[in-house]
Amino acid sequence: MRRFQPLLAFLLVAGGPFLAVPAHGAEFDLAVDAVVLRPGERQLFLDDFLLGDVNALTRVTHSPRKYEGNPVVRADLPTDGVAIQLRDAPVWDEREQVWKLWYMRFGDDGNGAGGSGYARSKDGLVWEKPMLGLVESRGNRQNNLILVQGDPAAFTQHVILDPEAPPERRYKGMIGPRGRQPIVSADGFTFTRLPVPAIPSQDESHLNWDPVTRQYLLTVKHAGPFGRSVYLTLSPDFEHWTKPELIYHADSQDQILGAAYLSEVQSNPRLWRPTINQPDEYNVEIYNMAVFRYEGLYIGLPNYFESSGRIPPPRGNQDGINSPKLACSRDLRSWTRIGDRAHFIPISEQGPGVLDTGQIMASSHPIRRGDELWFYYSGIDVRHRPNMARVIDEYRGAIYLAKLRVDGFVSLRAAEKPGYVDTRPVLVEGRRLFVNATAKGALRVEVTRPDGRAVLPGWSAGQCIPVTGDHLRAEVVWPDRDLAELKGQRVRLRFHLQDADLYSFWLEP
């Protein structure tokens, strides 16, 4: 966990024309001069959008805990090679009642060439790799490789399931080591290219579906300030895509923090240390970024490549460390860096069988499993082994899992000294108020006038039944009041905390 004081969050705004897309989350309604709180939509504290006054609270960023049974998918087939990676989260197939994932292979038959590997699971922890018999490799078809018709050697970057699509397009994906060519499939195993132009990109991308704006989000890699940067392209139909536009890049503060981090890594014998260490060549770039909708906002997992220096010819490229940080946006254009820019899923210490020591590549989004968010990621033991004779010997990799409390990205925390936070003026559309919170002490709520100067009669913190304990869904109750009484009124909600963490709140009808 990491702490930083709330307010004054840093915003990154890329310049130039851009197709702005509202998040359709909690929005400030100019007509009523208030934020409309829609029933069922959880309000989180990753940014300051909803915050009014804050007193004696600390904003804490929480990293997901790594699963003790890692890695969950290993490179254990001959066609897997020495490393497997994924960019897309597993998808649940309601028809077959199974989790499915597609992964990239890095073997001696090429990096990702010859089709991605396919795996399935009933519980998301134990995975099997069925033999599909579609692609010939190593002289036979006994493998789990998927096929792109007309291009059996295609580098398959993405595969997702779209349950609302026509049957012949139920599965969608992208191929290409450079550029991204849309592909579709009825079964997720045999794909066909769409007759549309390829989307310009370097060798990294992330694909997601936004169910609210009903469009596909594809982030791609191109050059920008300080090197590798993130661009966004959008499509309503998977065929027509907007021109990629710059949305996220490293800045001068990232360079300062990256140099300090690389120095810390070099001095820690428990961590893998890059082979190349040239402080005068230190540089931070954004390798890729998953962008996904979560409740009323967009969350980004920008992968920070903290380069420790250039690898000399003939190998070339750069050495360093890759791992994701945390960011959020309300419009896909302006991004708030979260948690003092600390690593959201940091590399692991070295140990027997541990592979996520040099690079961590987050998948496209977390999946909800009960009371947790599961983050699947690629864990790679090094960035490069510059002294190896063959590229295929450069690294080892597998698929890992980390788990986070639902809504658990950020909490507002009070120690033993009580503190409070209130919202901006809001319109309450609902009859019941719930919180996701832990309270060794207590959490209470009061309702005030829109200027925050006076508590409404009957809605004081003293009249609120305190919330205590650890709850993902605790109802906030005033015994003699019903939130329906506030419908149409501009008010503030003030949360009083003592020895407690507040992760989110929401209304229900």
- The string of pLDDT tens digits covering residues 333-377 is 999 999 999 999 999 999 999 999 999 999 999 999 999 999 999
In a domain, 420, yes or no: yes
DSSP SS3 for 107? strand
Which residues are 313's β-sheet partners? Answer: none
Can you tell me the distance from the alpha carbon of 109 to that of 138, in angstroms, rounded to the nearest whole number? 9
Compute how many other C-beta atoms are within 10 angstroms of the C-beta atom of residue 167: 7
Based on the domain organization, do 469 and 336 belong to the same domain?
no
In a domain, 338, yes or no: yes
Q: With bands split at pLDDT 50, 70 and 90, how would you rate the model's confidence at 3? A: very low
Average pLDDT over residues 422-429: 95
Q: What is the pTM of this model?
A: 0.93
Based on the domain organization, do 238 and 289 belong to the same domain?
yes
By residue count, the chain amounts to 509
User: Is the CB of residue 419 less than 8 Å from the CB of residue 444?
Assistant: no
Please report, for the domain that includes residue 468, its CATH number: 2.60.120
Residue with tokens 């890059």: 274
pLDDT of residue 6: 35
pLDDT digits (tens, 9 = 90+) for 228-285: 999 999 999 999 999 999 999 999 999 999 999 999 999 999 999 999 999 999 999 9
- Residue 480's domain spans which residues? 32-62+411-508
Domain boundary among 349, 381, 407: 407
Can you tell me the distance from the alpha carbon of 102 to that of 91, in angstroms, rounded to the nearest whole number? 10
* Of residues 507, 343, 361, 335, the one with CA closest to residue 429: 507
H/E run at residue 436: strand 432-448
In a domain, 7, yes or no: no
pLDDT digits (tens, 9 = 90+) for 312-323: 887 788 999 999
Based on the domain organization, do 48 and 95 belong to the same domain?
no
pLDDT of residue 177: 87
Can you tell me the distance from the alpha carbon of 188 to that of 118, in angstroms, rounded to the nearest whole number? 9
Average pLDDT over residues 405-420: 97
Burial class of residue 401, CB neighbours in 10 A (0-12, 13-18, 19+): buried
Please tell me the least confidently modeled range out of 96-100, 150-154, 230-234, 270-274. 150-154
Based on the domain organization, do 318 and 439 belong to the same domain?
no
Residue with tokens 């009070």: 414
Please tell me the least confidently modeled range out of 5-14, 59-68, 102-111, 241-250. 5-14
Average pLDDT over residues 19-29: 50
Based on the domain organization, do 446 and 333 belong to the same domain?
no
Based on the domain organization, do 45 and 77 belong to the same domain?
no
Based on the domain organization, do 416 and 432 belong to the same domain?
yes
Can you tell me the distance from the alpha carbon of 172 to that of 389, in angstroms, rounded to the nearest whole number? 37
In a domain, 8, yes or no: no
Based on the domain organization, do 495 and 400 belong to the same domain?
no
Based on the domain organization, do 372 and 461 belong to the same domain?
no
Please report, for the domain that includes residue 384, its CATH number: 2.115.10.20
Phi, psi dihedral angles at 86 (to 5 degrees): -135, 150
99-104-108-109 Cα dihedral, nearest 10 degrees: 90
Domain boundary among 407, 431, 454: 407
In a domain, 27, yes or no: no
Q: Which residue has the higher pLDDT, 37 or 110?
A: 37
Q: With bands split at pLDDT 50, 70 and 90, how would you rate the model's confidence at 508? A: very high
Average pLDDT over residues 73-84: 93
Q: Strands 190-193 and 147-148, how do they pair?
A: parallel
Based on the domain organization, do 395 and 435 belong to the same domain?
no
Pull the structure tokens for residue 206: 């992330």
Each residue of 354-389: b (16+ CB within 10 Å) or e? bbbbbbbbbbbbbbeeeebbbbbbbbbbbbbbbeee
Pull the structure tokens for residue 372: 């947790």
pLDDT at residue 12 greater than cutoff 90: no
DSSP SS3 for 485? helix
In a domain, 2, yes or no: no
H/E run at residue 258: helix 252-266
Question: What's the total number of domains in the chain?
Answer: 2
What is the chain's alpha carbon radius of gyration, rounded to the nearest angstrom? 24
Going through 296-424 in order, the beta strands assigned E by DSSP cover 297-310, 318-324, 327-329, 334-337, 359-362, 367-369, 372-380, 397-405, 410-414, 419-423
Can you tell me the distance from the alpha carbon of 186 to that of 171, in angstroms, rounded to the nearest whole number? 6
Going through 198-317 in order, the beta strands assigned E by DSSP cover 205-210, 215-224, 227-235, 245-248, 283-294, 297-310
Based on the domain organization, do 58 and 70 belong to the same domain?
no
- pLDDT, averaged across the chain: 91
User: Is the CB of residue 363 less than 8 Å from the CB of residue 88?
Assistant: yes
Based on the domain organization, do 49 and 163 belong to the same domain?
no
Compute how many other C-beta atoms are within 10 angstroms of the C-beta atom of residue 301: 26
Report the Cα–Cα distance between both ends of the chain, in Å, rounded. 34
Domain boundary among 407, 439, 467: 407
